[in-house]
Each structure stands twice: as structure tokens, then as C-alpha cells.
Amino acid sequence: KVSLFWFRRDLRLEDNTGLFYAYQQEKNVLPLFVFDRNILDKLEDKDDARVTFIHDQIQRLSSELQHFGSSILVKYGNPLDVYRELLETYDIQVVYTNRDYEPYAKERDAAVAALLKRKGIQFLDFKDQVIFEKDEILNGSGDFYKVFTPYSRAWMDRFQKSNIQTLALDARKNNFYQTSPLPIPSLGEMGFERSEIAIPPLKVDESLISKYDQTRNFPSIAGTSRLGVHLRFGTISVRQLALKAVKLNQTYLNELIWREFYMMILFHNPQVVDHAFKPAYDQITWRRSEEDFKKWCDGKTGFPIVDAGMRELNATGYMHNRVRMIVASFLTKHLLIDWRWGEAYFAKKLLDFELSSNNGGWQWAAGTGTDAQPYFRVFNPESQTEKFDKELKYIRKWIPEFGTSDYPKPMVDHKFARQRAIDTYQAALQAT
């Protein structure tokens, strides 16, 4: 007889809500992780850094669980098939997990819950990856917020009134299922290879966070926390981080609120995955230039701040937020290329790729999203550089040939491109 705890994007033992309750309420808690083929089969790069990262984290969990005389059951396949197989092997009492708000995950969980229900087994899911979810922050008319600022105010208000706490497993008992270490499929067995990309360490740098409002906009300095990948896969708890942030720096906490805002938007509006949040913007006639898109992807546009950003992304799986805004604006406004193309490229490359934040960030830059910057405001790469990389340190770091004849000439004229974008957006809006 076992009770399962199904790990997904919450790869830690400490302050893990679903695991905490499983451990508190059940005996013989067997942790489970499924390398989901529905997700893995879509990845193009065999050395995808996210898969290596997850694999490493599963190994870490496995060794942490050895201290409890337990292990983690690791499967590779379609989750529904995995559960069918598990039902044959184990006498499962109940399944605990943490909620995931993405459209695919919601569907998957509903299918697993239905399968279990037919066998009389409960599927219990918990809020864990956000402080507030779904309908917890609503406006005066009981509707979800469509604009960030009032949402963030309501969020802060509720945060201050709530007694948010972290949850630790009770050290006086051991409710994990006792077993010798269970095998973990290798990356090779799943058709992957180890990535060479380095993952930022899991370190909450309190002195950095306390100065975050002053340092966050400058891509040449280490002025942001680099915790994105850890928040994405739950190697850090958002409650723990938010409780620190509220003491250290409100601007930093605000960024965590943006993360929740976009998750809430995606939860209520799954259509944003393929469509503009504001439907009129689906009418924009995008330029379908593969050639221009490739220049952007490769960091060869001739706009140094754009190219530096794309090269940082290609080399490290990371790009500074300020530069993400600049390159996204450049692709959608200067090149008039569909934000979905850029979104997909980021999704492939970013270590911290998060469907909700990536979609929200792209729609913000393209002006198609929630409280997007208005379409007639087009980022000027030159003045952005002047403000945020005045000494060209970031540019020089990523473009060694900057200033030589090897560096490409600008692929479009800024003034021309700006006007073309405004005209095209205007035409789309007038057509609806």
C-alpha cells in the first residue's frame, strides 16, 4: 500500500505544499516523477539544458530521500500510460500533487484524476507555485484583473493580511515509503544528451535583492537574482522568496507579482497561447520573412543592443529582462514579425522559460497584451543603449567584432521601420 506524491514543477522536499500534506496525512508516501513524453517529444535540441537540469534535480531528490530510507520512482512516458502501469504494480491509496495552471497540464491532470477516480482513488491537488491563484485576487465586480497595477495593489493587500508561512516536514516521523534506491532512466535512454550550459546556482543573495530597484535595469552588471529557472522548476519556494522580498525590496516583490499576474491571465485566458489578448490585434499583417527572422535569431541585425541580447541568449539560455524587452520590441515593431515567432524562439532557448511569463512578455512588447505599452510607442534601440548600457560594456561583451567592418550594418532604418509599424498597427485596428 502506497500513497503517491507526484513531483512536477516543485522539485524540492522543503516547503512543498502537496508533499507536506501527503507526509502529514499518509504513511508510505512514495514520491513519483514522470518524464512526460508529450512534452519531451516536442523539444528540438537533444542537449536541451532544461532536461539536463531536471535530470540533475531528480538525482538530488533521490539522494535526499535516501536519508529517509526512501527513493523516488521515476518513469518515462505518457503520464496516463504511466498511471495505468502503476495501478497494476502498486496498491495506490491516494495521489497528492501541486497544481499547474497551463492548458496542457490542466487537461493532463483532469485525465489522470478521472482514471484514478474510476478505481476509487482520490487525486488531491494543492496550490504551491504561486502565493495567490485562480480567483483569489478579483476586482470589485468579481472579475479577474486585466491590468497589472490594480492587480498588484490587491495582491499586496491580501498578502499583508494573510499569514503566509513556509512548511517543513515533521522531522520526528518518517512517513516515506521505505525502499532501496530506485533506478532513474538516463538522459541517453530518453533520447537526450547532457547540456554544457551552466545553470545559475540556487542562491538567494539578500544584499543583491535589497538593492534590486537600483541595479535591475543594467544588463552589464549582475543586478538581478537569476532565480528564474529555480522558480520555474520549483527548486526554490515562492513563499520563502516572497517572505524575504517583502522585507528586502518592494520592487523585487513586484516582479514576483508580475509572475503571478501572467499565470492568472493564462489560467483565465488559455486562448492567449495562440491569440492576441486583445482580439483586434490578431488582424495585424505580419511580414513572414524567414530571412529577417534568422538575422534576429543569430544576433546579426546590425543593432548592437539587439544582437548582444540574442547572442547572450544563444550562448547561455539567459537574457537580461531589459534586453528581452528591446529584442522583442525590435522583432515585432522594427521587423513586423509575428510575436509568436519570437515567443517560440525564446521558449526553445530560455532556461527560465515559463509559458505564462513568456507569452505575457511578448504580448506586452508587441502591444497586443494586457496593459501593453501602446502600439505607437516603439523602443528606440539607440536611446535604450544610451540609458542602460551607456559604456557599451554589455554590447562589447557579446559582440567582439563591434566597431569593426565585420559587424553588419543596420538591417533596417529606424525611422522608416517605426513609421511602418505604426501604420500597420493602425490599419489593423481600423479594420476591426
Which residues are near ligand FAD by CB under 6 A?
216, 224-228, 231, 255-256, 258-259, 262, 321, 324-325, 328, 346, 350, 352-354, 357-358, 361-362, 365
Q: Which is nearer to ligand FAD, 121 or 327 (CB)?
A: 327
The residues that bridge with 138 in the sheet, in sequence order, are 144
Q: How far is the CB of 271 from ligand FAD (least distance, A)?
A: 19
> Which 8-state DSSP code applies to residue 100?
-
Q: Between 70 and 356, name the residue whose CB sits nearer to ligand FAD.
A: 356
End-to-end CA distance of the chain: 60
- In the residue annotation, 286 being an active-site residue is answered as yes
When the beta carbons of 64 and 205 are compared against ligand FAD, the nearer one is 205
Distances (CA, A) of 77 to 12, 36, 40, 105, 355: 22, 5, 9, 15, 22
| Least distance between ligand FAD and beta carbon 431 (Å) | 26
Amino acid, res. 202 = L
Nearer to ligand FAD, 123 or 341 (CB): 341
Choose, from 258, 269, 314, 380, the residue flagged as catalytic.
258
Strand order in the sheet with 92-98: 73-77, 29-36, 2-7, 92-98, 122-126
Q: Provide, rounded to whole angstroms, the least separation between the CB of residue 263 and ligand FAD.
A: 9
Residue nearest ligand FAD, CB atom distance? 361
Give the C-alpha separation, 308 to 201, whole Å: 23
Q: What is the DSSP code string of 275-314?
A: S-SSGGGGG------HHHHHHHHHT-SS-HHHHHHHHHHH
C-alpha cell at 239: 513563499
- 391 catalytic? Reply is no
The C-alpha torsion from 302 through 308 and 314 to 318, rounded to 10°, is -150
Residue 92 CB, nearest distance to ligand FAD (Å)? 34
Considering the complex, what minimum distance in angstroms separates the CB of residue 342 from ligand FAD?
Answer: 7
Closest CB to ligand FAD among residues 112, 325: 325
- Please pick, among 26, 255, 312, 343, the residue that the annotation labels catalytic: 255
Please say which residue, 79 or 299, places its beta carbon nearer to ligand FAD. Answer: 299
Please confirm, yes or no, whether 155 is among the known catalytic residues. no
Cell numbers given for 62: 533521490
CB of 267 to ligand FAD, least distance (A): 14
CA distance 137 to 276: 23
Task: List the catalytic residue out of 6, 155, 296, 339.
Answer: 339
Question: Which of 22, 15, 5 minimizes the C-alpha distance to 167?
Answer: 15
97 pairs with which residues across the strands?
6, 125
Phi and psi at 35, nearest 5°, equal -75, 105
Q: Among 28, 174, 175, 321, which one carries the catalytic annotation? A: 321
Least Å distance between CB 200 and ligand FAD? 8
* Minimum CB distance to ligand FAD, residue 202 (Å): 12
**Please, which residue, 86 or 264, has the CB nearer to ligand FAD?**
264
The DSSP secondary structure of 373-429, one letter per residue, reads PPTT----HHHHHHHH-TT-HHHHHH-TTTTSTTSPPPSS-HHHHHHHHHHHHHHHH
Residue count (the chain): 432
Strand-pairing partners, residue 418, are none
| C-beta of 83 vs 394, nearer to ligand FAD | 394
Question: Is 364 known to be catalytic?
Answer: no
DSSP 8-state code for residue 142: S
Residue pair 181/74 in contact by the 8 Å Cβ criterion: no
DSSP class of residue 28? S
Active site members = 255, 258, 286, 321, 339, 362
